[in-house]
Amino acid sequence: MSDLSSLTISELQTGFRSGAFTPADAVRAIESRIESIDPQIQAYLARDFDSALAAAEKADVSLPLGGVPIGIKDVINVWGEQCTCGSKILAGYKAPYDATVISKLRAAGAIPFGRLNMDEFAMGSSTENSAYQITRNPWDTTRIPGGSSGGSAAAVAAREAFATLGSDTGGSIRQPAALCGVVGLKPSYGRVSRYGLVAFASSLDQIGPFARSTRDCAAILNAIAGKDPRDSTSLELPEEDFTTRLGRDLKGVKLGIPKEYFVDGMDSRIRKKVEAAIRQCESLGAELVEVSLPHTEYAIGVYYIIATAEASANLARFDGVRYGHRAKNPADLLDHYRRTREEGFGSEVKRRIILGTYVLSSGYYDAYYLRAQKVRTLIRRDFTNAFEKVDALICPTSPDLAFKIGERVNDPLRMYLADIFTIAANLAGICGISVPCGLVEEDGKQLPVGLQFLGKPLDETRLLGIADAYEQAASQEILSRIP
């Protein structure tokens, strides 16, 4: 049954309901694939095959996601399973409850399966910051899969998962989706509950799916979206079916091309693939409109002030008193705090906590944090103005192909710039999706390129319809060639 690992969710469900195979067969196929290939990819930190198989044998395949195993990024709590956030400070910690998205997946019939590697506390763009292992890109195992949800993207690309959940604070779903040649959706802020997601930056974080198709992402969003009384930032909205615009063309759709996203320094081969995708959308009936997002140049700076400030506050809870790593034989309470956090946190997390504490400190709050919030408002206004003219934006997801492992570890600024086309969407709270748009040869290997669509706040249904139209017309080749 190993061939089942290449199916989409919709293909799985057709097989389940026809009796061609069972959810237990699907779990066995994924487990077999993991045992075969994960020693090279290292996407998974842990998994409980026996529990997943037991759940599969009882699965109700009439439910929307009945019997479908879905991998989970190790920053989302699943009752009884580890939740390390890729950090030594949470080694051995097991979640005492389900995150809301996990409860919703279970209610839809899905089977949460496995813990997927990530940059520590979601801080990174390459999954090299994990305290446990480096996940490798299935297209070329000498290269990174992107981050911080690198394990989630690599697992789908390597057919070690049918779909996965990740989190996106500044591009951590869309960027690894692009570099691994899969589909990744960041919902609008407030669309999906963050209860049970270990916080990095609370005003930016959002949970979303990775899958082999836009249609599978829509099906998962149907399951996980909705108001949650345990998350005050989740929005009370009418129930919506995000699949209703799938299968349409792009006639009458206005797509904006943000001129600031086609900059010098972007890989010329990526530019060509994205420009070809734009022409493809035009051939499907879309009207192309050039737009401007004039404050884009400030997005990286604003993000690394706001995100680190929020991280410094959120990560203060990891002190070794209640759970997680605890320093041995501390001299006093201050020594306990200092050594616990020094031993438990990695260098990138320490770097961001220090930066965040600095920008919030007395004498610097107004100069940095307050000013960054004001510029964030201008960035959000740029998108509002653009969306008065167009239905969605089309642009690259990443300026670079997947780079070599170790290539940027000692160059934080260059690493941060990997998210230059994704960060602004989080600052503005809008929705975005990355879909594959072609392959480029590098060092004798084929590497994927991602095309990004950005939609209005809470306009996921339209965004998914646009992405699906492009995907159905142009992107099937890359999905059939996933390694």
396: β partners? 451
Selecting among 130, 172, 213, 398, the annotated active-site residue is 172
Task: Assess contact for 153 and 119: CB atoms under 8 A.
Answer: no
Which residue is catalytic, options 73, 104, 273, 456?
73
Cα–Cα distance, 362 to 379 (Å, whole number): 26
Three-state DSSP class for residue 162: coil
For 305, the token pair is 């002030």
What does the alpha-carbon distance between residue 161 and residue 425 come to, in Å, rounded to a whole number? 27
Calpha distance 291→286 (Å, rounded): 15
- Token look-up 């201050």 returns 334
| Dihedral sign from CA coordinates of 322, 327, 329, 335 | negative
Residues 6+ apart with CB under 8 A from 88: 131, 325, 343, 344, 345, 346
Beta pairing partners, 166? 208
| 172 catalytic residue (yes or no) | yes
Cβ atoms of 216 and 223 within 8 Å: the answer is no
Q: From the candidates 148, 152, 213, 434, give the one annotated as an active-site residue.
A: 148
Show which residues are catalytic: 73, 148, 172
